[in-house]
Amino acid sequence: SIAAVLSKITTTNIAALIVGLTCIVLLLVGKEINLRFKKKLPVPIPMEIIVVIIGTGVSAGMNLSESYKVDVVGNIPQGLRAPAVPEIQLIPALFVDAVAIAIVGFSMAVSMAKIFALKHGYTINGNQELIALGICNSVGSFFQTFSITCSMSRSLVQESTGGRTQIAGTLSAIMVLLVIVAIGYLFEPLPQ
């Protein structure tokens, strides 16, 4: 509640507040530039990526974690887990939760797909979405992944930066894989 926030206002980490407000201002300025010059820019300015790079650089350069006690991402484990067969004996204990997660995940995926379908004038097939989610979650179970569904924030950011096809999702996946496998350590000083 607002009262709880105001009662703790004196314990605010000023450095973290400045970092957060600066990031918000940069994102809003970037959004405004993209809206204003939409027709003149060949592609929108990827302000989210720019803010991450600037934030990481400033945090590392000024040592915000140690000097100003700003929370940072910290250790990012490298590499992927080796594939393994899921533990079948856990099915009875996890079945009810798995069904609930599947229903919520499918509902989110279809809802987001319908939003973008209306916005961009195409149709979706719920059965196709269900099959895709089923295959992805089945394959993911061998790599101990979380359940797979759409990410509202990532989908909206991707769409707002001009991503309209599966290539945009593939490029996002390749970038995440690159971070996991090779360059995750570069993002350890990123402020949270």
191: β partners: 72
pLDDT number for residue 169: 83
72: β partners: 191
The answer to whether 83 and 143 are in contact (CB under 8 A) is yes
37/187 Cα distance (integer angstroms): 31
The answer to whether 137 and 148 are in contact (CB under 8 A) is yes
Q: Is 185 exposed, middle or buried (0-12, 13-18, 19+ CB in 10 A)?
A: exposed
pLDDT number for residue 166: 81
pLDDT tens digits, the chain, 192 residues: what are they? 788 888 988 999 999 999 999 999 999 999 999 999 988 988 888 898 899 999 999 999 999 999 999 999 999 888 888 899 998 999 999 999 999 999 999 999 999 999 988 988 889 999 999 999 999 999 999 988 888 888 888 888 788 777 777 888 888 889 888 988 889 899 899 998
pLDDT number for residue 168: 83
pLDDT number for residue 148: 87
